[in-house]
Amino acid sequence: MTFKTIIEPFKIHSVAPIRMTTPQERERLIEQAGYNLFSLRSDDVLIDLLTDSGTGAMSRNQWAAIQHGDESYAGSPSWEIFRNAVQNLFPFKHVIPTHQGRAAEKILFTAIGGSGKVIANNTHFDTTRANIEYTGAEAVDLVIPEGLEPASRHPFKGNMDLIALEKFINTRGVENIPAVMITITNNSGGGQPVSLENIRAVSAICKKYGLPFFLDACRFAENAWFIREREVGQGDRDVVDIIREIASLADGMTMSAKKDPLGNIGGWLAMNDDELAVNCRNLLILTEGFPTYGGLAGRDLEALAVGLTEIVSHDYLKYRIESTAYLGNALAKAGISVVQPIGGHAVYIDARALLPHIPPLQYPGQALAVALYKVGGIRGCEIGTVMFGRKPDGSEEPSAMDLVRLAIPRRTYTQSHIDYVIEVCIEVAKNAAQLRGYRIAVEPAALRHFTSVFAPL
Ligand code: F0G
């Protein structure tokens, strides 16, 4: 007998209160926040699905490991515990700890970027793209065409377009390409996985042209679980084995430990190349710290080492992927179009489909995200024209999709929280025709989604 209820494979050990608010209060709070959900106080949010980054609950073993942290400036045993845990899954020669993923990106692209250079990825995450462009280099996205079609059911919509990649290499020239990257899972493309077959093929193309191949591996365990579930011939493998194979195909990685490593803070950069590692460690010392702690306290390194052992549990990953699908499938069943198949860490509502009367340059994703907050106190995140519409030359264009991401923090919310989210989404969708677009009243020079002030149209 198998039961259909997906139980959380943990019990609650310590709790944080949720402060209840009314729709009237939220109407006022979001206006005060300039209709930007990043400007809200989290106390004013009921269910916070802004991000799955650093927002997960640590286990009792992680909290116990915090007590074991050694805060020595150099050569801390906590560093060795962390490095061993990383290399157990990703056996790269050099591991360089950073305070989060973007710090690893900043260091890597400072070392290998610069004007005239171009980096390919399935889809660059926003900080990855911004760090590349900041050095004067160019970031090119080469995801397969299905990856840009919200309704396509391709099982690995995060895959790199291999023909486009070879064409890119031949037209741009090997000498101008310091690295090829692949993001697992493809966050900006809907949390969609990349197949092992595709990673093998990208690796082979990079080898053929002598190009370094880097992973942006934030959600590596979720990606490995999808490979196990969906890829022919992978169903009997342990996810640890799949993860090690992925690592063996690459020359290095950038990592945010705020996702699958179950940390509240942390990241790393890893690679096999000795010379690049020396260069990156020197940059690390300028802004992050000594190479045995990076931007982290010894206690954080210890918590991450434990998180890396917990994230590869099959019971956990099965629950994680099924519970995210539970939310996505319920919305789809109610007629709300969501990116299909449901991704690993989040459900992405297709705001352009739900609000066809709001043109992309009036930000349908923003309109939907604000409505979810007003109606139900839910905080999601626009991933669309607000986030990607402003081009480096100053022009503005609709992004490929206008989505609202409901990202699920790890081990944080229960099924009843998610049932409430479903109800709120259905209520907002019922009144979708009444929603209006927004304009940007105040816009910063870069990464505008974080701090822009919006005004309703
Ligand atoms: N790469 C990917 C694929 C990410 O999703 C993120 C962060 C980063 C790099 C940067 O890592 O935040 O530790 O500096 N994503 C978060 C999100 C912020 O909400 O999706 P970071």
Judgement on whether residues 38 and 107 belong to the same structural domain of the protein: no
Whether 449 and 404 map to the same domain: the answer is yes
Maximum CA pair distance of the chain? 61
Q: Are residues 46 and 70 in the same domain?
A: no
Q: How many CB atoms lie within 10 A of CB 19?
A: 11
Nearest protein CA to atom 10 of ligand 1, as residue: 101
Residue among 108, 109, 127 to mutate when testing ligand 1 (max atoms within 8 A of CB)? 127
Same domain, 86 and 217: yes
The answer to whether 435 touches 444, Cβ cutoff 8 Å, is no
What is the rounded CA–CA span in Å between residue 11 and residue 22?
Answer: 29
Q: Is 267 in the pocket of ligand 1 (CB under 6 A)?
A: yes
| pLDDT score, position 150 | 83
Asked if residue 91 has pLDDT above 90, the reply is: yes
| Number of domains into which the chain is organized | 2
For position 233, what pLDDT does the model report?
A: 97
Same domain? 387 vs 361: yes
Mean predicted confidence (pLDDT) in 194-207: 98
CA distance readout (Å), 435 to 252, 332, 366, 368, 375: 45, 20, 11, 8, 12
> Is 3 a member of any domain?
no
Residue 209 has pLDDT above 90, yes or no: yes
Tokens matching residue 325: 């699908």
Last residue of a domain, one of 310, 325, 349: 310
Q: Looking at the domain assignment, is residue 195 inside a domain?
A: yes
Name the DSSP letter for residue 146.
Answer: G
Ligand 1: centre distance to CA 104 (Å): 11
To test ligand 1's pocket by mutation, which of 119, 218, 379 has the most ligand atoms within 8 angstroms of CB?
A: 218
| Mutational pocket test of ligand 1: of 100, 131, 259, the residue with most ligand atoms within 8 Å of the beta carbon | 259
User: Mean per-residue pLDDT for 434-452?
Assistant: 94
| SS3 of the chain: helix, strand, coil, percent, to 5 | 45, 15, 40
- Domain end point (choices 310, 342, 376): 310
Q: 34 CA to middle of ligand 1, Å?
A: 24
Query: Residue 258: CB within 6 Å of ligand 1?
Result: yes
CA dist 100 and 81 (Å) reads 18
The verdict on the CB of residue 102 being under 6 Å from ligand 1 is: yes
| Dist CA 166 CA 331 (whole Å) | 38
Instruction: Give the tens place of pLDDT for each residue, 127-171.
Output: 999 999 999 999 999 999 999 888 899 999 999 999 999 999 999
- Tell me: do 169 and 288 sit in the same domain: yes
**Residue 17 belongs to some domain of the structure:** no
The answer for residues whose C-beta is within 8 angstroms of residue 383's C-beta and 6 or more apart is 188, 348, 365, 401, 403, 404, 405
Distance (angstroms) between ligand 1 centre and the Cα of 101 equals: 6
- Helix or strand holding residue 387 (H, E): helix 385-388
Contact criterion met (CB below 8 Å) for 348 and 339: yes
* pLDDT attached to residue 457: 96
Cα separation of 128 and 323, whole Å? 28
Å from CA of 53 to ligand 1 middle: 7
Q: Does residue 44 contact residue 401 with C-beta atoms inside 8 Å?
A: no
Banded model confidence at residue 447, pLDDT cuts 50, 70, 90: confident
Q: Identify whether residues 253 and 334 lie together within a single domain.
A: no
Claim to verify: residue 352 and residue 262 sit in the same structural domain:
no
Ligand 1 mutation target, pool 256, 262, 410, 450, most atoms within 8 A of CB: 256
CA distance 309 to 4: 27
Q: Which residues of 264-282 are buried (b: 16+ CB within 10 A; e: fewer)?
A: bbbbbbbbebeebbebbbe
Confidence class for position 189, pLDDT limits 50, 70, 90 = confident
Please tell me whether residues 172 and 286 are part of one structural domain. yes
pLDDT band with cut points at 50, 70 and 90 for residue 21 = very high
Choose the final residue of a domain: 265, 295, 310.
310
Tell me: pLDDT of 294 over 90: yes
Q: Are residues 76 and 220 in the same domain?
A: yes
Domain limits for position 450: 23-52+313-456
Position 346 scores a pLDDT of 97
Protein residue with its CA nearest to atom 20 in ligand 1: 51
Same domain? For 132 and 201 the reply is yes
Ligand 1 atom showing the smallest separation from residue 187 Cα: 3
Taking the C-alpha atoms of residue 445 and residue 397, their distance in angstroms, rounded to an integer, is 16
Residue 293 domain-assigned? yes
φ/ψ of residue 326, rounded to 5: -55, -45
pLDDT band at 1, cuts 50/70/90? confident
